[in-house]
Chain A
Amino acid sequence: MNFDFTQAEQAFAEEVRAFLRAHPPDTFVIDGMDAGYGSGANSRAFMKTLGAQGWINMCWPTALGGREWPMFMKLVLMEELALAGAPFGPLAGVWQTADAIIELGTERLRRELLPAIARGEATFWQGYSEPDAGSDLLSLKTEARRDGDHWVIRGHKIWSSHAGIASHGLVFARTSREARRSRGFSMFVVANGTPGMDIRPIRSMTGEVYHHEVFLDDVRVSADVMLGPPGEGFQALLNGLDADRFWGRFYKAPALTRVLRQLVDYANTTIVGGAPLAHDPVVRRRLAAVAADIAALRLLFYRAGCLIRDGAPLTYETASAKVYADETGQKLARLGMDLLGIWGPLREGSRWAKLGGQISHLYQTTLGHTIAGGTAEVLRTTVAVRGLGLPAEPRPTAESRAR
């Protein structure tokens, strides 16, 4: 066992910190809301700056313009960015899409997209969920039919994050009818603005726009924007969701550490009933207990990161860690609201708002985290069945479905 970072990792962390001092995160123009996951807001300007640093493609093969740095450098980068509250919103999704394109992509996808990704110009929305296909994704209705060397996609996607400001969508659609329910799906990388694509914002409970629904009305795409072999999209999607649990939550612990520090500062400097809030034993214990949760959470993600780095099999680790990340975020947000009391619900920009109004924002956004990317219930079942070998619940038969 060894819990130190390597010298190269430490040097890179220092480089990132120096970069953040030179480019303060709050000086970048924001294009899309911070959904509270820990990767901050969506900022095209920040993504382009990361691209200019050569940090988006640093782990790619040199033949594709990368530096072949070890995967752990991505963790170092994300941890430092999250601790600083930088607006790197789309980065993890961009990395995952790039990895999929490097592994499975056609010549065209590689040629057209990888350079744009490396520059921080291409970002992606996920077109997976549908109004009637949430946790039961395989009941989706979006279909693509072959038309010569094109596909024509028709359907309705929803809960697509930042779809309005991304460059491309990852659209998951049925491409053939097969006996096995999990076969016959394919993934398409579809450029925003393709005729027939209508992206409509959904205003969220925070008052901002994060999700979109996307209507695909005979969207015609070239066959070479399909990502991976036709009909084999579901396994690729599952792998992607597995990775998403890791990459889409890794930065939560450092981001929560940042919020915790703000709450500690608030408790130290806020006088309630003649004494600093920090003197209240209940406040001390609750903050200390969440600090322990955050420390444990960080380690569980690094442990999963080591398994990924070492090519060791993962069964339940990322599912378990994701649930923990999301529930710890909810716990901290709840505690923050309790500490702020009457000031808690004031919004950002509101006169008298404490801590910039961001706790009430976090309180709202974290509610969605145990739902998005696999609900806590689905994932606990994954841990039990895949991790512990408990028997899966019997699947409904076609007959009972029809009923």
Chain B
Amino acid sequence: MDFRLAPSQQILTTTARAFLRQHYPPEHAQRLALDERGFDEPLWRRMAELGWPGLLIPADLGGSEGSLLDVILLVEEMGRVGLAGPFVASAVVATALVLAKGSPAQQKRLLPALAAGERILSLALVEETGSFDPAAVALECTVPGRLTGRKLFVKDAHVAHELIVAVRTGGAAGLIMVPTDRPGLSRFPLDTISGEKLFEVTFDGVEIRPGDLLGAGGESRESLAEALRAGSLARTAEMVGGAQHVLELAVEHAKMRVQGGRPIGGHQAIQHACADLVRDVDAARALLYVAAWKAGEGRPADADAALAKAYASEACLTVARRGHQIFGAISYCEEHPLHLLHKHIQAASLDFGDAQLHLETVARAIGLNGRS
């Protein structure tokens, strides 16, 4: 057993931390959150030059062939600064789907462009039930045919070139690729407290061609579940990175802020709160790494991933909320970095299923009988 990062992983995280500190200061995060488009294209291109979007992609298709754990470590650094943008949607979830399900021709067309950051994809899954369960998908589509209906909470649809739309086709779960400029497709932004760019996407008789089906068709539920798990782990990594940053900011503040002649961090009430933050972050991170490692090794990891996501949702949100209490009034200000980290954690905790959904997976894994 070994909890240490491999040398290449150390380089990856050190590089990422330095890069993001330089190119993504808190003021910039704040600007992007308030900006309608909220997408820093030059930064995205620089990230592509570093090979980040290609981390999951094989070398012969333009990627750098990293492990899922490598991706998770990188996304943890992104979560640290509350990085906005389509990395998880495109470079993790959509890329995982194309890798798992795409035909050789689709992989050849899409993966090099995804690795180079030239093409951005996003998954359209959730419907009005609000559920991330693939079984909850009701949108019907025949291929070829016309697609009419809507998807909600589609991330970064405004910058995506194509959407991977989860549908039911011929009684099976299917995935279809729809370019965002195809007639009949419309995108309406949802206004969120985090500044995350989420959209309602409507399809009004959108033409679906035979080649739009991802892969050879057939049941896609397994590929979808695997990609959702990767996405869920990535959002868990964002939470852990964000919570780690909140912890560091809060401890720094507790050392510097003097009231009544001494730093507030000299008081046990603050000390004990900080001690709990450490525990929350450490525990969430340990569960995350084990789940990502197992998934990356191709072992059964659904329960581990669910455990990690459920735990981090509770623990990291607690860290964020206690962070506000330690900081006091100043953290209530828009220009203070804490609230965005908090909202980023909040958003990540709901994405790919909230804690209740994942706890249900854990409940089954520990052997609790279900209703059926």
Bound Cα distance from A391 to B263, whole angstroms: 8
Asked if B268 and A288 make an inter-chain contact with CB atoms under 8 angstroms apart, the answer reads: no
List the B side residues contacting A163 at CB < 8 Å.
none
Bound Cα distance from A84 to B259, whole angstroms: 52
Chain A residue with the shortest CB-CB distance to B6: A1
Asked if A1 and B274 make an inter-chain contact with CB atoms under 8 angstroms apart, the answer reads: no
* A-B contacts besides A283-B368, A297-B283, A384-B274, 16 pairs, CB < 8 Å: A1-B6, A3-B289, A3-B293, A72-B1, A264-B367, A279-B371, A284-B359, A288-B363, A323-B279, A379-B275, A380-B276, A383-B278, A387-B275, A388-B275, A390-B254, A392-B266
Residue with the greatest number of chain A CB neighbours at <10 A, chosen from B6, B271, B356, B367: B271
Q: Which of A142-150, A167-175, A298-306, A344-352 contacts B (4 or more CB under 8 A)?
A: A298-306
Asked if B366 and A299 make an inter-chain contact with CB atoms under 8 angstroms apart, the answer reads: no
Given A264, A292, A302, A394, which contacts B287 in the complex, CB threshold below 8 Å? A292
Bound Cα distance from A393 to B271, whole angstroms: 10
Bound Cα distance from A392 to B370, whole angstroms: 51
List the A side residues contacting B1 at CB < 8 Å.
2-5, 72, 302, 305-306
Asked if B366 and A260 make an inter-chain contact with CB atoms under 8 angstroms apart, the answer reads: yes
Interface residues of A, dominant DSSP: helix
Q: Given the known A-B contacts A288-B366, A390-B251, are A296 and B284 also in contact in the complex, defined by CB atoms under 8 Å?
A: yes
- B346-372 interface code vs A (CB 8 A; 1 in, 0 out): 000000000010011011011111110
Which chain A residues (359-393) contact chain B, with CB distance < 8 Å? Answer: 377, 379-381, 383-385, 387-393
List the B side residues contacting A387 at CB < 8 Å.
275, 278
**Contact residues on B (Cβ < 8 Å of other chain), bracket:** 35 or more
Asked if B4 and A1 make an inter-chain contact with CB atoms under 8 angstroms apart, the answer reads: yes
Shortest beta-carbon distance from A319 to chain B in Å? 8
Whether, in the assembled complex, A67 has its beta carbon less than 8 Å from a beta carbon of chain B, the answer is no
List the A side residues contacting B272 at CB < 8 Å.
377, 380-381, 384
Bound Cα distance from A389 to B363, whole angstroms: 39
Which chain A residues (270-312) contact chain B, with CB distance < 8 Å? Answer: 276, 278-279, 283-285, 287-289, 291-293, 295-297, 299-300, 302-303, 305-306
Given A288, A296, A306, A384, which contacts B360 in the complex, CB threshold below 8 Å? A288
Shortest beta-carbon distance from B69 to chain A in Å? 6
8 closest cross-chain pairs (CB), A and B? A384-B271, A296-B283, A383-B275, A299-B286, A288-B362, A390-B265, A380-B275, A284-B363
List the A side residues contacting B363 at CB < 8 Å.
284-285, 287-288
Residue with the greatest number of chain B CB neighbours at <10 A, chosen from A284, A324, A388: A388
Whether, in the assembled complex, A111 has its beta carbon less than 8 Å from a beta carbon of chain B, the answer is no
Bound Cα distance from A391 to B69, whole angstroms: 36
Q: Given the known A-B contacts A288-B362, A299-B286, A381-B268, are A278 and B369 also in contact in the complex, defined by CB atoms under 8 Å?
A: yes
List the B side residues contacting A284 at CB < 8 Å.
359-360, 363, 368
Seen from chain A, the residues whose Cβ lies within 8 Å of a Cβ on chain B are: 1-5, 72, 260-261, 264-265, 267-268, 276, 278-279, 283-285, 287-289, 291-293, 295-297, 299-300, 302-303, 305-306, 316, 320, 323-324, 377, 379-381, 383-385, 387-394
Asked if A388 and B367 make an inter-chain contact with CB atoms under 8 angstroms apart, the answer reads: no
List the B side residues contacting A295 at CB < 8 Å.
287, 307, 311
Whether, in the assembled complex, B255 has its beta carbon less than 8 Å from a beta carbon of chain A, the answer is yes
List the B side residues contacting A377 at CB < 8 Å.
268, 272
Asked if B251 and A276 make an inter-chain contact with CB atoms under 8 angstroms apart, the answer reads: no
Q: Given the known A-B contacts A389-B255, A391-B263, are A285 and B359 also in contact in the complex, defined by CB atoms under 8 Å?
A: yes
List the A side residues contacting B251 at CB < 8 Å.
388-390
Bound Cα distance from A265 to B367, whole angstroms: 8
Whether, in the assembled complex, B2 has its beta carbon less than 8 Å from a beta carbon of chain A, the answer is yes
Asked if B3 and A306 make an inter-chain contact with CB atoms under 8 angstroms apart, the answer reads: yes
Whether, in the assembled complex, B139 has its beta carbon less than 8 Å from a beta carbon of chain A, the answer is no
List the B side residues contacting A276 at CB < 8 Å.
369
Chain A residue with the shortest CB-CB distance to B287: A296
Shortest beta-carbon distance from B296 to chain A in Å? 10
